[in-house]
Each structure stands twice: as C-alpha cells, then as structure tokens.
Amino acid sequence: MFKILVVEDDREMNRTVCAYLNQNDFQAIGAFHANDAYDLMYGGTIFDLIISDIMMQDVDGFEFAENVRQINSEIPILFMTARDDLAAKQRGFQAGIDDYMVKPIDLDELLLRIGALLRRAKIATSKHLTIGNLTLDAEGRTVTVNGEEVPMTIREFNLIYKLLSYPKKAFTRSQLMDEFWDTGTTSGPRTVDVYMTKLREKLRDCDGFEIQTVHGLGYKAVLK
C-alpha cells in the first residue's frame, strides 16, 4: 500500500483528503505544518508521495519542497493550493514539485494525478526505460535506437534518462546543473543548452518522444 504524506494546515481539508485517500486503498498521514512533516519523514516513515499546501505558517510550501529535494530527489510532490497565479506555479516547479492543483480540488481528479505520479516514479527507479524505438539501460549506461547503440557520455545519458523518467515535467537549467555538474564547475546554466542540442541530434531518429524547450524555464520530454 502506498503511503502519502498530506501537509495542509487547514485541519478540515487535511482530514477530508486523508479520509478520501484511505478509502481508496492508500495510507494517508496528515501533517498540519512542515515541521510536523519533517518529524514524520525523519522519524523513519517512508512515504511514496507528498501532497503539500503553499500557504502555511513558519515554513511555506516552496521552502518545504526545496528542503525535501535536498534529501530526496525522486519522491513525487504535488502542490494543492488556492494560489492560481503563474508566479506561484513557476516557483513551485523551480523548487522541484511534480504537479500542481488549484483549490477547490476535485478528489477524483486528485486520485488520477496521484496514480500518474506514482507510475512515473516507478519508471524512474527501474533499470530499463523503453520509449518507442529507444531503450535506455541504467546499469550499462547504454542507449539503443532501433537496436543500434548510440554513443553517449555519462552526463548525456543522465540528462536524457532524467527527462524521460518524468515525461511532461519541466526541469530548470539550474536543477539539471545542480544534479549533474560538480559544485565547483565554472560552467553556466546555458551549458545545459549545448547538451540538449547534442541530445536532439543524437536521438533525431527516435519516434516516441521529443525534447521540448520550456521558454524561461528549461526543458522537458514529451511523449508522442
């Protein structure tokens, strides 16, 4: 059974969401503040997904997501908030969230989104990834298109594996730099653009996806 952490300071909303998820074969645990969530996470409970509000006392959702990402780069995070402005959405995705819902939410839609996020997370932790005529082998760090190997550097492999593990999720240049470049690098975020150009050229014969530029943000992989 998947465990879901619901971080929401509206106690009635928190109870409603947890009760609904528990009725639908999930194990939902509520936290009313980010600090309560930290206690649960660091206390040994392993969660499969996090649902978080933005507007909370002491630590808001943006800071909470950033802190979670420092210790866990893979767990799906879904924002559930009353904020419907583009700035909040951009900041949320820059902080590392995977999805964004605006209140009042439809609980049935919430279930659909949770299912999609958990499927993506499962793909991300698998050793092989096949999309169309492309196969990525995480153990051997090999890439094949139509059964023929495509030479790639480790960094190129890591970048494309990351994008395809989370289709439709936009990653900022800074996020990718932080994960795949050394902290002491003198390269700037635009270096990512060079790598994306190389990947597009090497994978031009792939039929199952495309690497799209998210203007003002970064990149994402979109399945065809």
Q: What pLDDT is recorded for position 70?
A: 84
38-42, 179-183, 215-219: which has the minimum mean pLDDT? Answer: 179-183
Comparing 72 with 31, which gets the higher pLDDT?
31
Amino acid residing at 65: A
Confidence (pTM): 0.59
Q: What is the mean pLDDT of residues 133-142?
A: 90
Q: Which residue would you say has higher pLDDT here, 222 or 166? A: 222
pLDDT of 124 over the 70 cut:
no
